[in-house]
Amino acid sequence: MSTFIDIGLGFVCAQKGIIRILLHAFVYSIVALLLYFVDSYYEKLHLDEAIEEAKKKEQAAKGTQTQTQLTQTPSRSIHSQPSNLPEEAVIDPLKRGK
């Protein structure tokens, strides 16, 4: 009779052990998922900051480019007539198709 009780108690203890193992596995998997999402969130934040910095640097570079382009462009506009050509040689863009 005692062997049946020992077997029964062993089975109950084994069930408790299995349940405990499954419970720990469940809790650890939830913690791992939370850590994964937190890590991906912080990684996204760092990427967003890096993108913003790159955009600022690009805009700063474009700003210096436009400043140098403005200083390098000639003073006359595109539509002004050059002084060394006769007036008949200059093509008026409005009269071009007529």
**pLDDT of res. 90:** 62
**pLDDT of res. 95:** 66
Given a contact cutoff of 8 angstroms between Cβ atoms, the answer to whether 81 and 87 are in contact is yes
Spans of the chain, pLDDT less than 70: 1-11, 64-98
Task: Please write the tens of the pLDDT for every residue from 30-44.
Answer: 999 999 999 988 888
Closest C-alpha among 57, 60, 38 to residue 49: 57
**pLDDT of res. 18:** 83
**pLDDT of res. 58:** 87
**pLDDT of res. 14:** 73
Cite the DSSP H helix spans in the chain. 2-72
